[in-house]
Amino acid sequence: MSTYPTSLGTSSADEIRLLGQDLTADLMGEVGFGELAFWLVAMRRPTPSEVRVFEAVLVALADHGFTPTAIAARLTYLSAPDSLQGALAAGLLGGGSRFLGVTEDCGAFLDAVVTDLGDDLPTTDEQWDAVALDAVRRTKEAGRFVPGLGHPVHKQGDPRTPVLVRIAEEEGLRGPHLRLFEAVGRVHEQVLGKRLPLNGAGVCGAALADLGLPVELLRGFALLARAAGLLGQLAEERRRPIGMDVYLSVDRHAEYVDPQS
Amino acid sequence: MSTYPTSLGTSSADEIRLLGQDLTADLMGEVGFGELAFWLVAMRRPTPSEVRVFEAVLVALADHGFTPTAIAARLTYLSAPDSLQGALAAGLLGGGSRFLGVTEDCGAFLDAVVTDLGDDLPTTDEQWDAVALDAVRRTKEAGRFVPGLGHPVHKQGDPRTPVLVRIAEEEGLRGPHLRLFEAVGRVHEQVLGKRLPLNGAGVCGAALADLGLPVELLRGFALLARAAGLLGQLAEERRRPIGMDVYLSVDRHAEYVDPQS
Amino acid sequence: MSTYPTSLGTSSADEIRLLGQDLTADLMGEVGFGELAFWLVAMRRPTPSEVRVFEAVLVALADHGFTPTAIAARLTYLSAPDSLQGALAAGLLGGGSRFLGVTEDCGAFLDAVVTDLGDDLPTTDEQWDAVALDAVRRTKEAGRFVPGLGHPVHKQGDPRTPVLVRIAEEEGLRGPHLRLFEAVGRVHEQVLGKRLPLNGAGVCGAALADLGLPVELLRGFALLARAAGLLGQLAEERRRPIGMDVYLSVDRHAEYVDPQS
Amino acid sequence: MSTYPTSLGTSSADEIRLLGQDLTADLMGEVGFGELAFWLVAMRRPTPSEVRVFEAVLVALADHGFTPTAIAARLTYLSAPDSLQGALAAGLLGGGSRFLGVTEDCGAFLDAVVTDLGDDLPTTDEQWDAVALDAVRRTKEAGRFVPGLGHPVHKQGDPRTPVLVRIAEEEGLRGPHLRLFEAVGRVHEQVLGKRLPLNGAGVCGAALADLGLPVELLRGFALLARAAGLLGQLAEERRRPIGMDVYLSVDRHAEYVDPQS
């Protein structure tokens, strides 16, 4: 009979262990929740600087108001108020390519470029600009979008972007992914012919990648952040519901159209 | 045309607001993630003491190893690795009455008793014991279980319980729900005829209720904590997968039985 | 090493078996899909009459237009078009107590009464009326609602109810659950003081219970029916999307309110 | 105020319409469930021959025993027995790229080739072989897998494949997608250097594409079929549970490993 290896939670009759620590002696009351979430994925305890940047990202991504996912969660809660987990899950299921995937796509895009550079990282903005220009050009030639550019509302600049760069700088964590992302912001107009803002989802991906978190799982942190936001949405739906009004506003304006038309 | 009221996220072209705050100026880098999660539900910023107790609860509930929900999430990831959100959602959907609902059930049970007491709260352990004895008796007479009692592994005592009580005491937050829960621990044997441990899920519910969080949503905090744990499980499934082995261990030992048998 | 018993699917290198049958020789092309769904739960092949009633129920429950669950599925698809399974799952998660649970609740309510009658079943409408009157009275005295009564739109009568009763009658399957449900329709006004229609979800629960399907799983058939309806909704969302309009109609009419107000 | 167009369900106080039909007069008791599911997506009523092929596909895909998705659904039901919809949704969430996506991938692969042929379709097996040879070659050169080839258990041939081809032939629906798929089965060895079986998921995709169903939604039919299978799994989990044994077999064989090791 084989065993199932894990470095996460295990327990015996008188002890609960997590990440190789004694849960009650070493972790409860000693580490923050964001700190633990980082640790659970990265398999190392983050420094206080890393925690500050990481939690700034989670705070930035937690809630964006009446997004499709927030509305879906509220409508699901309206239909099935007996199952809070179902409403939360329904909201998270919208965390796919379009509205929540930018964080991961941007982190992965930047990381591929940075990884290609190997140990020979640029040191000046001019050098980063050259790297960014090449990356944006190749992306455009391949017929793909550069992730992290553009925002439907914040057309003149996403206010989260400079703030997260500043926080990372304060903590000594403005690394190659953020440097490259900033360079993309400076040079993309030369290639794409228009100036787009560096969006908040993108800068969060860059900052998470600079923290050394696995780029294939960056979407997971956006989902964790969103779980907190969705809880807030569902708590508000209990206090001041809108789900029934949304439903009726759609249902009452339904109009039958002949499928052949 | 009616409007949709919200106290959560709203944004204009140059500002993102959340909870009435400027997201970038007031929240990012200024509040922790657990702190924000509390705020999003309670509609008030918690004190540092409240944050410490709250995060201790989230840390306690984040991961319990190979629970059914963790296995379900890993198997879903095995089948659909293209959809991290689906695997996370599948894991959370197990957050129902049986394995994750104790936190909410216990908080609600204690809160009903505490609410009945009105302003006339006991001050001594003896007084709490009398309240607890009455509550346990009435619960048993109604044919219901007292939530928060018993644990399949930690039969001699759940190590999380005294630690969370101690942390709450340190922060001046050992309130009526925890006091009552402790009293239940002292007196239930008189009614039930056997001594059961106060379990960790239960004490977490008591502590959350003492923080003034809405008891109908306590399951939501267990789900948020579990979201972090599930991310850790899925990150580990990428690094050191077990899903295929679990699947094969079941499939290869399937045995057809005649349904009439 | 223990084995895992099952009466469903098993396979060897050259054969696939399902329900004790050879999938390719006995089932594919030989049984209908609804027929198989019935068999998978009931562990017996339904008669053609049973299939007709069963499929009439599934057809009745498949789609109700822009329900909260249909809108949730469409919004999830808008956010994550890469994951059809996520959008479908999100839609099904609304299949809880409020909008889709009536079928199960009504079936369970009727079944409890019928089971209490034992072998001594009424034979005339008058006798059923007496049983129904007693059941409605006891339900009201217990402070509970009689499930299956009332409809927000079809206030003068749900058109599905008489049609399903007629189909069951045609097939010789108008059994005690349907008879009792009809009696509830005749007598409830005496107890409740107002006349309510017997709704479609309720009559479906009665018909499924008369087919001998387990009442604890009736919600499952409503979910199966809804899965087909949600596929239709998602196919239409691809052809003629409304999700973005729904989202914007909510988001653009968001209004911040002070949480203290 | 704009309206929301739909060709699916609409209702007034005394009528329920679906697909432009009167639900109660035209559909209930008159159309089968599989027939309706086809109609809901294709926006046209299928012929009896089309229904037979379509339902044969659904029957073929409904249940494959203890798949990862079936186990995930059972474990979710173990944790949250109060929410059948959550267990069903958890099972469907595994319907992604790896275990359930082959149907869609194969249909899309074949459809791209068939579409390129335009009106100039082959008529003999030799002509189809030439088309297939070219398609397999280009796929291999692009470094991609040919979907629908190979099976972990049915290495000498998947029994579903010839049966579904035969049923389609009987109904006059063995169209270009099935013809091409069969040709792939004959020629792939020349390119890939090994003989692989045409698997059941693949032939189902080919048959659905020949029915004119949208290839981007073929996964949806696999999910619908699986919904019925999962209901069967959950009904069996109630009658003869295995979830707890699966959970314990994993949990009791957990072994802590140092993450650095």
Residues B197, B149: contact at Cβ < 8 Å? yes
User: Which pTM does this prediction carry?
Assistant: 0.96
Closest CA to D122 of D199, D171, D53, D178: D178
Rounded Cα gap, residues C4 and C95, in angstroms: 30
3-state secondary structure of A232: helix
A41-55, B88-102, C100-114, D238-252: least confident range: B88-102
CA distance D193 to chain C (A): 22
Residue A190 has pLDDT above 80, yes or no: yes
pLDDT, averaged across chain C? 95
Residue D214 has pLDDT above 70, yes or no: yes
Contact B235 A40 (CB under 8 A): yes
Interface C:D, Cβ pairs < 8 A: 280
Report the pLDDT value the prediction gives residue D194, as an integer from 0 to 100.
95
- Interface mutation vs chain C, best among B23, B257, B258, B261, most C CBs within 10 Å: B257
D208 touches C: beta carbon within 8 Å: no
- pLDDT tens-place string over residues A46-80: 999 999 999 999 999 999 999 999 999 999 999 99
* Mean pLDDT for the stretch of residues C233-244: 97
Percent of chain A with pLDDT over 90: 89
Q: Phi and psi of D198, rounded to 5°?
A: -75, 115
Q: Confidence class of residue B1 from pLDDT cuts 50, 70 and 90?
A: low
Contact D254 B97 (CB under 8 A): no
Closest CA to D223 of D76, D46, D90: D90
Residues of B within 8 A of D71 (CB-CB) are 71-72, 75, 246-247, 250
C28 touches D: beta carbon within 8 Å: yes
Residues of B within 8 A of D87 (CB-CB) are 93
CA distance C17 to chain B (A): 9
pLDDT, averaged across chain D? 95
**Residue numbers of B between 35 and 64 with CB closer than 8 Å to A:** 36-37, 40-41, 52, 55-56, 58-60, 62-64
Q: Confidence class of residue B230 from pLDDT cuts 50, 70 and 90?
A: very high
A190 touches D: beta carbon within 8 Å: no
Q: Which residue has the higher pLDDT, C156 or D61?
A: D61
CA distance D207 to chain B (A): 23
Report the pLDDT value the prediction gives residue B98, as an integer from 0 to 100.
80
Q: Confidence class of residue D155 from pLDDT cuts 50, 70 and 90?
A: confident
Residue B78 has pLDDT above 60, yes or no: yes
D259 touches A: beta carbon within 8 Å: yes
Q: Which residue has the higher pLDDT, C100 or C203?
A: C203
- Interface mutation vs chain B, best among D66, D85, D88, D93, most B CBs within 10 Å: D93
DSSP secondary structure letter of residue C198: B
Token representation of residue B169: 């005491």
**Residue numbers of A between 72 and 101 with CB closer than 8 Å to B:** 83-86, 88-90, 92-96, 100
- pLDDT tens-place string over residues B105-132: 999 999 999 999 999 899 999 999 999 9
Residues D205, D218: contact at Cβ < 8 Å? yes
A12 touches D: beta carbon within 8 Å: no
For D142, residues 6+ apart whose C-beta sits below 8 A from its C-beta are none
Report the pLDDT value the prediction gives residue C1, as an integer from 0 to 100.
56
What's the Cα-to-Cα distance from C103 to each of A78, A103, C117, D252, rounded to whole Å?
A: 17, 42, 21, 40
Contact D96 B86 (CB under 8 A): yes
Residue B97 has pLDDT above 80, yes or no: no
Residues of A within 8 A of D4 (CB-CB) are 250, 253-255
Report the pLDDT value the prediction gives residue D11, as an integer from 0 to 100.
86
CA distance C244 to chain D (A): 11
CA distance C135 to chain D (A): 25
Q: Which residue has the higher pLDDT, A181 or A259?
A: A181
* Mean pLDDT for the stretch of residues A131-152: 95
Residues D77, D242: contact at Cβ < 8 Å? no
What is the distance in angstroms between the CA of the first residue and the CA of the last residue of chain C?
A: 62
Contact B153 A85 (CB under 8 A): no
Token representation of residue C42: 């009931």
Rounded Cα gap, residues A236 and C232, in angstroms: 31
Report the pLDDT value the prediction gives residue D108, as an integer from 0 to 100.
96
D153 touches B: beta carbon within 8 Å: no
Closest CA to B222 of B195, B247, B204, B248: B204
Contact D246 B71 (CB under 8 A): yes
**Helix and strand counts by DSSP (H, E) for chain C:** 11, 5
Rounded Cα gap, residues B2 and A244, in angstroms: 13
* Mean pLDDT for the stretch of residues C232-242: 97
Rounded Cα gap, residues C164 and C167, in angstroms: 5
Rounded Cα gap, residues D96 and C201, in angstroms: 32
Residues of D within 8 A of A83 (CB-CB) are 80, 82-83, 85-86
Contact C254 B4 (CB under 8 A): yes
- Cβ count near B172 (within 10 Å): 11
Residues of A within 8 A of B27 (CB-CB) are 59
Chains sharing 3 or more CB pairs under 8 A with chain A: B, C, D
Token representation of residue D20: 């432009």
- pLDDT tens-place string over residues A116-132: 999 989 999 999 999 99
DSSP string, A36-78: HHHHHHHSSPPPHHHHHHHHHHHHHHS--SS-HHHHHHHHHHH
* Mean pLDDT for the stretch of residues B196-209: 97
Interface A:C, Cβ pairs < 8 A: 144
Residue B18 has pLDDT above 80, yes or no: yes
Report the pLDDT value the prediction gives residue D1, as an integer from 0 to 100.
56
- Interface mutation vs chain C, best among A1, A2, A250, A258, most C CBs within 10 Å: A250
C102 touches D: beta carbon within 8 Å: no
Report the pLDDT value the prediction gives residue A1, as an integer from 0 to 100.
56
Report the pLDDT value the prediction gives residue A106, as an integer from 0 to 100.
96
* Mean pLDDT for the stretch of residues D246-257: 94
- pLDDT tens-place string over residues D48-98: 999 999 999 999 999 999 999 999 999 999 999 999 999 999 999 998 778
Contact C257 B83 (CB under 8 A): no
Q: Confidence class of residue C211 from pLDDT cuts 50, 70 and 90?
A: very high
* Mean pLDDT for the stretch of residues D124-138: 97
ipTM: 0.96
Contact D153 C12 (CB under 8 A): yes
- pLDDT tens-place string over residues D91-122: 999 987 787 789 999 999 999 999 999 998 99
Q: Confidence class of residue B32 from pLDDT cuts 50, 70 and 90?
A: very high
Q: Phi and psi of A5, rounded to 5°?
A: -75, 145
